Structure 1
């Protein structure tokens, strides 16, 4: 009986990973059918499921090499292929070969990002990511589609999505450090600041869901760039 329970616990995180893949495939189908809003939200659902599977694996102590590889393949579908196809079908096809290149770069650099993450997991700092994580990049592209679709901006400003997708693709394979939030400092010194920020973010998202999520994604991406620029003189002095 205990063996069966152990096997079920081992399967549990992989169920969430499979659900993330399903959500990614459903997003692709929705994008092909022209349902861009649904496709975008399904990618965000994949993000939630992707976060749950890792936490379930750690809580149940069922982390495995198979789980790591399965999770990477799931990320490639949900956060690589799905957002790239969504972007291409939404606006990229209007730019001919440039649209193809931009979509392909997102998938290729996303694959490199995942491969590098798997190789560097043991040696990397637990509190930071090296380069923008592929789920963040995917959600950023999805939010741009939602925002531009809501305000009908894709007709006149579709090139902005293409350029920003290329930028975030490059950031995925960059050496810029981004916070991972795996270990949040909840000491009394920082607890109130964290509470105020989280509460403000939740209220913003409640009032303006698409705009709020987009703003948070932009702040996160710009934070890494700004931090690197600020610390660059200190790094050069040490060298």
Structure 2
């Protein structure tokens, strides 16, 4: 939530580069925090509510602000993106059952937007196209695997660790490209690549 608020502040200050990095770090932290809460057995209703609010703030509002609000089209699309995130959190989060989501999870959509913003240096047209595509995926009723990467197969843990290592030690453009490919592989090949462990649990 704190990183999401920082991202919002950066977007308002017209520092989209910093705002995008806040979102990518949030994407990686979101997975780690979920794993930590389960291992420490500190899950509670208050934590769930705070998590939803953090997801909305970071992966909804902060991500939408990457589109900018300079023109009517950008502003309208940003509003639609925020509403889509709200809709998905309210109605689709648990609709797929314990092993899958209905609709694309918001963190992956946010990661795509943040990576695209970094790789295109904030190109508004491309960002609007990607945001429109992410909106369609989030409201889609297709199933996406609810497979916790840090509690799954070793190769998935390596994918996560690769993202963390690249964040600190590789060129920024390469890290953004890595996160983009990671997210797109989840979006377009959810069952083939990312659903195996969830199916085994089922």
TM over 0.5: yes
Q: Does 1:87 align with 2:67?
A: yes
| Deviation, structure 1 residue 81 | 0.5
Which whole-Å CA distance do the structure 2 matches of 1:129 and 1:224 have between them? 11
| Structure 2 match to 1:39 | 19
Matched positions, count: 187
| 2:8 matches 1:28 | yes
Q: Structure 1 CA distance, aligned partners of 2:16 and 2:82?
A: 19
Match of 2:101 in 1: 129
Residue 178 of structure 1 aligns to a residue whose secondary structure is: strand
1:105 is aligned to 80
Deviation at 1:48, TM superposition (A): 2.8
Stretch moving more, 44-53 or 73-82: 44-53
Q: Distance in 2 between matches of 1:54 and 1:117?
A: 18
Pick 1 or 2: higher relative contact order, CA cutoff 8 A, min separation 6. Answer: 2
Deviations 1:109-164 (A, max 9, x none): 101111124553xx6142x3221101111111111110110xxx72xxx3222122
> Which of 200, 217, 220 is the aligned partner of 2:186?
220
- Structure 1 spans left out of the alignment, 5+ residues: 1-20, 228-239
Asked whether the 8 Å contact 1:105–1:166 carries over to 2, the reply is: no
Shift of 1:25: 0.7
Structure 1 stretches of at least 4 aligned residues deviating more than 6 Å after TM superposition: none
Pair 1:65–1:36, CA change in 2 (3 A): same
Q: Deviation per CA, 1:181-226, whole angstroms, max 9, x where unpaired?
A: 327664xxxx6xx38x849x66xx5572122222222222222499
2:110 match: 138
Bigger drift between 165-174 and 50-59 goes to 50-59
1:209 aligns with 2:172: no
Partner Cα distance (1:132, 1:212) in 2:
19
Unaligned runs of 5+ in 2: 194-202
Distance 1:31 1:119, change over 3 A: same
Distance apart, 1:49 and its partner CA: 2.9
The corresponding residue for 2:144 is 178
Partner Cα distance (1:226, 1:62) in 2: 32
Question: Cα 1:185–1:65, aligned 2, differ >3 Å: closer, same or farther?
Answer: closer
> In the superposition, relative to structure 1, how do residues 60 and 165 fare at CA in structure 2: closer, same or farther (>3 Å)?
same
RMSD: 3.1
